[in-house]
Amino acid sequence: MPLTLTVPNCLTFLRILAVPFFAIAVWYGRMPEACLIFALAGLTDLLDGFIARRFNQKSDLGAVLDPAADKLLMTTAFILLAFPRSHYVVQIPAWVSILAISRDVVISLVALNSYAHFDPAKFQPSILGKLTTGVQLVAISVALLLNALPHQAWIHAFVPWFFYLVAVMVLASGFQYFFRATHTRPEAP
């Protein structure tokens, strides 16, 4: 099968190439730069989806590469923002990062295991899955912004509750994906 380099696929490749620069910025406490890279990566995600749909540039490569690029960026953010660093004002709790990453790993393993009798309907993002991804993106963005902005104690009082929401959403959507993957639909009469 030939490699299809469409504009959306090029934008996705740019997002993948941004990950090491994002990681370097976070690691060295360059939070304004990390925020900018994260925001630009998010913009490429919006653009590649819009262009693929609007100009009929959907491809098999894009269908695999786009979610992989998203997970690579989010996993990198979850790991680095949970790692103890002296320059963090807000740190994502390690247990929240572990839950989020574990959910994605389990979903990927179940998808790979059932590849021979793959039912795409079982692995389509659900509304709960999309909401979970949205909450995760907001949590990462909040952590990045609060680390980039001057310390405001009153804002930080709400942050732990937000991470609990992330954990609940991750668990709920993980169970939903697992249930959908392991239960076959009844055949139509």
Q: pLDDT tens for residues 43-62? A: 999 999 899 999 999 988 88
Q: How many CB atoms lie within 10 A of CB 75?
A: 16
Say how far apart CA 92 and CA 135 lie, in whole Å.
Answer: 13
Least confident of 64-78, 82-96, 145-159: 145-159
Report residue 90 as tokens.
């807000």
- How far is C-alpha 168 from the geometric centre of its chain's CA atoms? 16
Give the per-residue pLDDT at 115: 59
Residues listed for the chain: 189
Average pLDDT taken over every residue of the chain: 87
Residue 42 pLDDT class (50, 70, 90 cuts): very high
- Report the percentage of the chain scoring pLDDT > 70: 87
Q: Is 109 helix (H, G, I), strand (E, B) or coil?
A: helix
Topology of the domain covering 7-182: Four Helix Bundle (Hemerythrin (Met), subunit A) (1.20.120)
21 versus 1: the higher-pLDDT residue is 21
Q: Does 23 score more than 80 pLDDT?
A: yes
- What are the domain boundaries of the chain? 7-182
Give the per-residue pLDDT at 185: 55
Which residue has 């960026």 as its token pair?
Answer: 73
Residue 117 pLDDT class (50, 70, 90 cuts): low
Where helices occur in the chain by DSSP H, the ranges are 7-27, 31-54, 60-82, 94-113, 127-148, 153-156, 159-182
DSSP code, position 117: T
Whether pTM exceeds 0.85? yes
Using CA atoms, how far residue 121 sits from 37, 41, 71, 152, 179, in Å, is 33, 28, 20, 45, 13
